[in-house]
Each structure stands twice: as structure tokens, then as C-alpha cells.
Amino acid sequence: MMASPPSISIPFLSLLLIIAVCIVPRMTAFDPLFRYDNATLELASQDYGLIVRDRPDSVFEPKYVRDIQFLIRQKYNRHDKNLSLRAHAHSTRGQCQVLGGIVINMTSIKNTSRINIGHNNIGYYADVGGELLWLDILKATLKRNLAPVSWTDYLHASVGGTLSNGGISGQSFKHGPQISNVYSLNAITGKGEMKTCTPTSNSDLFNAVLGGLGQFAVITQARIRLDKAPTGATVTRLMYSDFQRFSDDQEFLISSDLPNYVEGFVIVNNIIPSGWITSNSSVTLRDIDALLKNYTVLYAIEFAMYYDNQTSDTVHQKFQMLVGKLTFIPNFSFTVEMSYFDFLYRVGDLDTIQQQYPQAHPWLVLFIPGSQKNDFNKYVLAGLLPQLGQAPTIPLFYPLNATKWSNKTSAVIPDEEIFYTLGLLHRSAVSHYKKFDRFNQKLLSICRKNGIICKKYLPYYDNQGHVGIPSQKDLRGHLMNNWLDVQNTLTWRKHGPNDKAKAKKCEEKPRSDNKRLSNGDSRAEDRCKVRYKYGQYTPLEKLQGRFLRFLKNEGMLASFHDELLSQ
């Protein structure tokens, strides 16, 4: 006789029903957001640079912001796979990739309704999703005759990406970088908590995220400053053979209230000015070639003044007056009229070109103290750049006002009122990028040898093969006087077998180290708890260690490498 099956009580059946209804659907609804197919993983292992290829284990495609929260919360509790954010992948050295980890595809939540324009006592603003393109923002705000005041040269970059770096262009001297024009952020912390932060509320988080290289939180929304949009721009390019006149005129322009945009170029071949020659120009490429033979290197200022229908005549008069005060080579000027949209979108869509004709982009972007500009010109601009020959590199060189940058954010700039940015926007066949890497390393070596202090913008590091993970030496050089006790890594350090015991020991006997800052301050800091509580070393402490307190309170997104976008 067969034994009868054990009876199941009604309460137990109810418990099973609760589990089936409440837990299983939640997980099954979450799992389909992961992609494991080869095409998706291959795409996630590439970026605009086409130099680094780190293949993830999976790609997460959130439908809503809350999906990202859930994923990060699970990761925070388990400390397992590393995460990386990927929007439009304009990093050039794999900063939006993660080997064997999870890439979060931010574009999967793209929705134009995530652009909302409003007005308060401060003025007009736009609440925008972090995954959106700046081009999306421009189109939406222009419909209301409004626009952000600070831009990057390339509008196919994402909001979250540029705010994670700084966001610089020719408007930055006047309005500061894009991170100086943010009223508030919505960000997901390393604990998976959504927080709204401003300069006065959750300010540690706000300042850490802006320019923080994607290491502190996920930017899901930003409130961006808007102003009345102009309708047109008068744009001129002026050529120089003398560096001192070139730099003096640039600094004169950025000290004036008249220009809206100022950038500069270093010309070592006729590739850049070939697009400047217009039908009404008296200067030809042959004339430029003749100058290059005489001087080896030339310089050019590009500046613009904006206007609308009411101010057009006045602006053009002031424009001519301003040009008359500059000391460029006579007749070597090129002026065009453009709509405001066309001027901002002058670079166009490089993504489509990249898809059709893939090229590597071993870029190098530096900040140089204004006091060292002459040495930099001697050894680099005039001394080294001519060796590029006919390479299709665009060397940018123009000044910025440090007073327009907040010294509270994570962005690292030289400690001088005026500093310059050099942008070597190299491109090459995918298999030939190392030639430009060697050139970049030679440039940095020349600067070190001659005592020229450079700060990397859009930094990357390759520490024992782990791209994006700075070594202690890398960070010491990057932070300089802001360096305190950064210990080797900005990514989650997986828990070892003895970590729990070490963490407990830290709680019982916290170790405090006295460190003296460059400005003379000293303080005791308990770093031991931080290291073992979060499974990582102390990150990017700077300016009296304000981020240490932030780290203890919020948890750092140490494994996030938000895409590092071009200017």
C-alpha cells in the first residue's frame, strides 16, 4: 500500500502564492533587460577611440531609471561584477567599457519627454535626461527661443558624459564649462539611492559628480541653465605667425565682454585652413603654404559674436571695431555669417562618418598654466607639432578663465587665473594609432623634462592592462596638490577572505593618519573603515578631504566609468 503524500497546510500554500506573485514576476521582469548576444557584447566593447576592446559579460538595457537603481542596489549588496555606463560611447580609451562586467546601455531609456523647460526666480532652465544628446537639448530649447549657454564643440555627446568631465568649448571663457551651468542633479549613488543634489543640498554629492569621471554616481537628470537664444553668429578666423601676438590677442578677447566664443588653432599643414577659403577671399591655399615654408608653424584665432534681429547692426559694428584692434597677418582673415544652430552644429555628425569609415582616435587633451605658455610654445607647439607633417590632426590651443570654474567640483585645472587647453584630436587607421601614442608620450615627456605642469582632460590610465583604473602614481600626477591618500584603484576591490575580519578590526580600533595638505591644513582621518566598509580604497580625496565624508555617507560608484566625451 502506497503511503499518502504529506498534507500541505493552507498557510503554507498562501506563503507559496505570495512568493509566486511578489518575487518571481519581479525577477522575471528584470532578467530580460540583460543582453548576452554576440552582436550586443561586441558593440559594448567598442567606443569612438577604437583602441581599447574590453568585452563585458552582459549588457543591461533599462527601460526606466528605477531599473538602474535596482541593478546598482543588487551590486552594492553582493559586490560582484563591475559596472560601466555607456551612452553614445564617445570615450576614446575604453572608459565606458568593463572587461567581464556589466555595461548599462543608457540610451535604452532615451525619451524626448525627458526634456522639460521651466522658469523660476533664477531664470529659465531645462530638466534633461543624462542619456540625451546635447543636440536633442538644442533642438528642443530653440523651439522656445532659448538655449544653454555653454557647449561642447561636438553635439552628439551625452549630457551625463560631458558633465562627468567638464564640458569645454569656445564659450567656456565667458560662461565656464558645462559643469558651471548646472542648477541641480538627480543621481543614483553607489548604494542605489536616488538623490537630488544642488550646490546647497547634498552638496558633497553634487560637487563630487560634476567632473568626477563617472566615479561617484549615475547622472539620470540635470537641470541646465538656459538663456535667450540668438539667431545668428558672425564668425572669423585670423592667422598669426607670431605666438606672442596670437596669445596676447586671445587673452584680450577673453577679457572682453564682446565675443561669445573664442578658440585657437595651431597650423602645421593646410588641412585646417582649407575649409576656411571662401569664394570672396583674397587668400588662397598657396598663400598659406608659402607662409608655412617661412614660419614652419602658424596660429589662428577663431571667434564669434552672436546677434538677433534687433541687435544685428550693433553687433556687426562692434565686431569690426574688435577685429581692428587685433594684430593678425594683414589680409589673412576669413569671416562668415551663420545661423546660431549651424554654428553650434558646425562639426556635424561624426558618428555616421565613423560607422562608414572607422578610424582610431588617440586623442590627447591637456590644461597648461598660462604662466608656462611661452615654454609650451617653444618646446611643443613650435618645437614638436611640426613633426606631425601631413597627419590629419586638429591641434586646438586656446585660453580659459579659471574664475569661471568652481573649485568645489571634482574637475582638476591648473592653479592659475588663466590657463590654456591643448587638444590634439588625432585620427588614424585603426592599426596605426600607436604612432600617435608615441607622439603623445613624447610630448608629455618633453613637458616633464622642462618643468611644464600639465593636467589631463578626458584622462585615461592603463595600469597593468586595466584601462581606466589609475595607479597611485597616475593619480598623484593628476591631482598634484590635491593628492592625499589615494590608494591604487578607483574600481570596486572584490572582498578577499580576510576582509570581514579586517573590517571588524577597523571598527574596534580605527586607525587615524595625520596628513598635512599643501595649504598647511592638517587633520586626522580614519581611512581604515572606508577601505573595508566599501570594499575599495579611499578615492580622490581633495581640498581638505571633503569627499571622504561623502564616501562614508553615500558609497562611491567606484566601478562606474561614465563615458568620457570629446569637447
Question: Looking at the DSSP assignment, which residues form a beta bridge with residue 448?
Answer: none
Distance from the Cα of residue 358 to its chain's centroid: 22
Distance in angstroms (rounded) separating the CA atoms of residues 68 and 74? 10
Distance in angstroms (rounded) separating the CA atoms of residues 220 and 462? 28
Which of the following is catalytic: 251, 263, 541, 554? Answer: 263
199 within 8 A of 206, measured Cβ to Cβ: yes
Other CB atoms within 10 A of residue 474 CB: 19
Residues in the chain: 567
- At 221, list the grid cell: 537628470
Distance in angstroms (rounded) separating the CA atoms of residues 141 and 226? 8
Which of the following is catalytic: 90, 175, 361, 561? Answer: 90
161 within 8 A of 218, measured Cβ to Cβ: no
205, amino acid identity: L
- At 202, list the grid cell: 547634498
Distance in angstroms (rounded) separating the CA atoms of residues 62 and 66? 8
Active site residue 119: no
Active site residue 302: no
Residue-by-residue DSSP string for 250-306: HHHHHTSSS-SEEEEEEESSSTTGGGT--TT-S--HHHHHHHHHHHS-EEEEEEEEE
Closest of 493, 525, 485 to residue 506, by C-alpha: 525
- Provide the H-helix boundaries in 345-486: 350-356, 373-376, 433-449, 472-479
Which of the following is catalytic: 61, 131, 153, 554? Answer: 153
In the chain, the largest separation of any two C-alpha atoms, in whole Å, equals: 111
Distance in angstroms (rounded) separating the CA atoms of residues 247 and 222? 35
Distance in angstroms (rounded) separating the CA atoms of residues 132 and 159? 6
Provide the 8-state DSSP code for 31.
G
User: Cα-Cα-Cα-Cα dihedral of 210, 213, 218, 220, to 10°?
Assistant: 60
Active site residue 204: no
Active site residues: 90, 153, 263
